[in-house]
Amino acid sequence: MHAMGRFSALLASVLILAGCRTGGLPFGMTKYGEAASLYTLRDPDGGLVLEVTDFGGRLVRCWAPDRWGRLADVALGWNTVAEYERYGFSAGALVGRYANRIADGRFSIDGREFRLAVNEAKPPRRSNIHGGPRGWSTKVWKVVERSTSRIVFELVSPDGDMGFPGTVKARVTYSVPGGGRWVVRYEAVTDRPTVVNLTNHSYWNLAGEASGTVLGQRLAINADRYTQTDERRIPVTDAPVDGTVFDFRRPRAIGSMADRMAALPELRATGGWYDHNFVLNGAGGEMKPACELSDPVSGRVLEIWTTEPCLQVYTAQDMTTGLPAKEKGRTLCPCAGVALETQHYPDSPNHPEFPTTVLRPGETFRSETVYRFGAR
CATH number at residue 347: 2.70.98.10
Q: For residues 235-241, give the mean pLDDT.
A: 97
pLDDT at 5: 44
Q: Which of 156, 197, 148, 208 is nearest to 174 (CA)?
A: 148
pLDDT at 50: 98
Q: For residues 88-109, give the mean pLDDT.
A: 98
Rounded Cα–Cα distance for residues 45 and 23 (Å): 22
pLDDT(15) > 60: no
Tens-digit pLDDT profile for residues 308-321: 999 999 999 999 99
258-267 contact pairs (CB < 8 A, 24+): 258/215, 266/228
Q: Which of 209, 292, 303, 341 is catalytic?
A: 341
**How confident is residue 47, by pLDDT bands cut at 50, 70 and 90?**
confident
* Whether the Cβ atoms of residue 167 and residue 190 lie closer than 8 Å to each other: yes
- Domain annotation covers residue 205: yes
pLDDT(22) > 90: no
Q: For residues 56-60, give the mean pLDDT.
A: 98
- Domain annotation covers residue 221: yes
**How confident is residue 2, by pLDDT bands cut at 50, 70 and 90?**
very low
Q: Which of 233, 259, 369, 368 is nearest to 314 (CA)?
A: 233
**How confident is residue 178, by pLDDT bands cut at 50, 70 and 90?**
very high
Percent of the chain whose predicted confidence (pLDDT) is above 90: 92
- Domain annotation covers residue 304: yes
* Whether the Cβ atoms of residue 183 and residue 373 lie closer than 8 Å to each other: no
Residue 315: give the domain boundaries.
Answer: 101-131+199-360
- Domain annotation covers residue 265: yes
| Count of domains observed in the chain | 1
- Domain annotation covers residue 183: no
For residue 293, how far is the Cα from the chain centroid? 14
Secondary structure (DSSP) of 99-155: -SEEETTEEEETTEEEE----B-STT--EEETTSTT-GGGSB-EEEEEETTEEEEEE
Indicate the pTM of the whole model: 0.93
Q: Which of 201, 276, 344, 351 is catalytic?
A: 201
Rounded Cα–Cα distance for residues 283 and 233 (Å): 25
Secondary structure (DSSP) of 341-361: EEES-TTGGG-TTSPP-EE-T
pLDDT at 284: 84
- Domain annotation covers residue 39: no
Catalytic: 341?
yes
Q: Which of 204, 210, 219 is nearest to 333 (CA)?
A: 210
pLDDT(20) > 50: no
Q: Which of 28, 74, 311 is nearest to 202 (CA)?
A: 74
Q: For residues 64-82, give the mean pLDDT.
A: 97
pLDDT(123) > 80: yes
Catalytic: 51?
no
**How confident is residue 9, by pLDDT bands cut at 50, 70 and 90?**
very low
- Domain annotation covers residue 350: yes
- Domain annotation covers residue 307: yes
